[in-house]
Structure 1
Amino acid sequence: MKKLLASLLAVTMIASLALVGCGDSKDKGTGDSSGDNKSGIKSICFVTTNLGDKSFNDIANDGIVNSGKKLGLDYKVIEYGTDKSKMEPAFLDAAENYDMVFFSSGEQLELIQRHAEEFSDVKFVGFDIDPDKDPKFPNIFCITYAQNEGDFLAGALAMKISKSGVIGFVGGAEAPVINDFMVGYIEGALHAKADGKVAIAFVGDYTNAPKAKEFALLQITTNKADVLHGVAGGAGLGVFEAAADNKGVWGIGVDADQRQFFVDSKPEIANVILTSMLKRNDIAIEDIVTRTCNGDTSDFGTIKKWGVEKEVTVLVENDYYKENTTEEQRAFVDECKKGIIDGSIKVSTGYGMDQDTLNALRNKAKA
């Protein structure tokens, strides 16, 4: 039972939440609770900063909406914005009113752990959580994505299609999760071409598209990079803009199939996005919601790593990708994928990598 103390705290904090306009939902729905639901789960909620990034958060929202509709559940996304003082009220609101609550950062995990016992009948699911984190409570399940594996494929493809032998990487903040992308990208590039070069820059945040564009243009003009990979959330639009301004330069998106977001609204951007390295939050969310509703709660209390083998960190291989790559290039990517799955290719991780080792890897491919 949810404790009275938590309820009173939630009510107090949610009142302030309402006054500042936080907790709005871009998409919500009421299910009909149809189907064979053995768990008693009737509602799910995703708590995040903002939707509209055309990347990680939006694809997670797709998973929530699809799960709700498919399984007949009430569903909602609560956005608390960039003001971190609103984060706790948003989560208390979700925990008070929903049976499963989804989140996506270590900071949010720490907050939830402070309240997990108060909401012992709520299932909390965190994705994109650092692998060294411990859920600590039997009602918390954490997923860490092997983005290093997926970005190994992105780096291998980028170097295979590069005419200059130089590719670019524009990250958001220089954080462990972004370093994990970068490590895989560099190792994939060097697997494709031992003397290949990777130009690297960090924006410092995930929203400053003009700054990302500035860095990307420098990589194109100064380093001669002709394939650019943005791992910078909403700032990544600047990377695509730089590619669109320079004939013969490709962009590789991240998290979602970013080309699809721009096909109708900005075709000039869509046309430079060859593929994207997916982090399939939608698949992960639908999987855990379905299994939980079917009565399988065995993952709760644990942290699991999902990557290429689970098909959650892979490249988009749609018709556009196939039209603009050769059979030999696609076969090479497929061989890399098989190697990761069977263990013949070992991809290093940025998590826990000491700075000297990280610097050595960057310097090995320095453009």
Structure 2
Amino acid sequence: MKLKRTLALLLAATSLVAMVGCGGSGTSETGSGSQGGEDTLKVGAIFESLGTQSFNDDILAGLQQAEEELPVELEYIEVTDIASTANSIRTLIAQGCTFLVIPSSSYRDAMVEVAAEYPDFKFLYLAAAEEGYDNIMSVEYRENEAAFLGGALAAMLSQTGKIGAVLAVQEPLQVRFQYGFMAGAYAVDPDCEVTTMFTNSYSDTNIGKEMATALYEQGCDYVSCFAGACNLGVFQAAQEAGEGKYCLGAATGQFDQAPDKIVASVVKPIDVAVVNVLRDYIENGTFAGGTASVWGLAEDGVTLRYTTMNDELLDSIPQEVLDKVEELKQQIIDGEITVPGTQEEYEAFTASV
């Protein structure tokens, strides 16, 4: 991958958009990959908060891997103003991208708008189910299934009987995580007190830290997070909270951010999935437009990953706890446990348990 292009490139790209009848992309930054030949698929993507080991970084890693392994050329834009999203997508199209990757629900409305303008272009939406648009292939995750395992782990490890989670905004994927985490804790310890907080941001590290600090001060000894760059603030709070205070990470693990604090992480191996989707499209012409794929534990779309950077911390987890988490995982895969993803489902789950 080349370094991010300068503002001059963005202005040039914006001019191209104007030539095809669309406006500029506003406050954005672009990056590009190697130049490809006629048979190269030019892929465009938009991101926010790159460089924070967030979901966006995992998607970018997958796209960069695809660029190395497949006839793919990548262009991407960091969107700093949601209002400019539609024009940012148009900029990528003006640059020759025919396959667009959209990672966040914040971009959903802009994606649908532009997809209607360009029905022959393909859009891969990685934030939620979006059906009814022939040129949009969407993916929905059962984050709640992996979060269930994280909640169960935290509840079994807790010495205070209080655990927490710092989330981003109240959109479906975050709510699924919330109730999955709460249900996992309840399944192993109905008396465990679980507190969840929403930062209303994917990028404000300070708010993430403030909320995690408040949770630790309230007695939580394990705090999970699923809030993009806000996770970094949670890790800082865990470090400052001192002995006996731990956390769970997200993304691909983030263990290097706080090796002595992050016991495990709820992860979505999206980098591998992105490569597979592009490979299937390039080699077989497969594109499931108009439909939504759902990836959970059974599909390896989500999982709970234990620390890979601190053997002492890993060894501190009792074997019976590890065994119980594995048992719960298999029960979910086998359909013996249906993990809730909404408040209504959670209330029915706790009633049944």
Q: TM-score if structure 1 supplies the norm length? A: 0.82
Matching of residue 294 in structure 1 with residue 283 in structure 2: yes
CA RMSD of aligned residues (A): 2.6
* Counterpart position of 1:29: 34
Shift of the 361–217 alpha-carbon distance from structure 1 to 2, 3 Å rule, reads farther
Contact 2:137/2:292 (8 A) holds in 1:
yes
Q: Distance in 1 between matches of 2:35 and 2:266?
A: 32
How far off its partner does 1:206 sit?
2.3
* Counterpart position of 1:280: 269
* Counterpart position of 1:94: 92
| The one of 188, 197, 215 aligned to 1:192 | 188
Alignment of 1:1-367 (within 5 A): 11=20, 13=22, 16-17=24-25, 22-25=28-31, 28-31=33-36, 42-81=41-80, 83-96=81-94, 97-129=96-128, 131=129, 133-134=130-131, 136-222=132-218, 224-245=219-240, 246-260=242-256, 262=257, 269-319=258-308, 320=310, 322-350=314-342, 353=343
Q: Distance in 2 between matches of 1:362 and 1:210?
A: 34
Identity of aligned residues (%): 24
Shift of the 361–212 alpha-carbon distance from structure 1 to 2, 3 Å rule, reads farther
Contact 1:10/1:93 (8 A) holds in 2:
no
Q: How many residues align?
A: 331
Letter in 2 for 1:301: G
Give the match's secondary structure for 1:256: coil
Question: What per-residue deviation string (whole Å, max 9, x for no partner) do you get for residues 57-90 of structure 1?
Answer: 1111111101111113111221121x12321111
Letter in 1 for 2:265: S
Question: What per-residue deviation string (whole Å, max 9, x for no partner) do you get for residues 168-192 of structure 1?
Answer: 1112223332111110000011112
Shift of the 345–181 alpha-carbon distance from structure 1 to 2, 3 Å rule, reads same
Contact 1:10/1:92 (8 A) holds in 2:
no
Give the match's secondary structure for 2:272: helix
How far off its partner does 1:342 sit?
0.6
The gaps in structure 1 that reach 5 residues or longer are 1-6, 34-39, 263-268
Question: What per-residue deviation string (whole Å, max 9, x for no partner) do you get for residues 134-160 of structure 1?
Answer: 2x2222100011111110011111112
Give the match's secondary structure for 2:44: strand
Contact 1:101/1:123 (8 A) holds in 2:
yes
Q: Distance in 2 between matches of 1:160 and 1:238?
A: 24
Contact 2:122/2:136 (8 A) holds in 1:
yes
Shift of the 299–195 alpha-carbon distance from structure 1 to 2, 3 Å rule, reads same
Letter in 1 for 2:84: K
Q: Distance in 1 between matches of 2:123 and 2:193?
A: 42
Contact 1:213/1:242 (8 A) holds in 2:
yes
Structure with the greater relative contact order (CA < 8 A, sep ≥ 6): 1 or 2? Answer: 1
Shift of the 296–336 alpha-carbon distance from structure 1 to 2, 3 Å rule, reads farther
Contact 1:144/1:305 (8 A) holds in 2:
yes
Question: What per-residue deviation string (whole Å, max 9, x for no partner) do you get for residues 77-130 of structure 1?
Answer: 21121x12321111012233113110023453332333335433322100111x
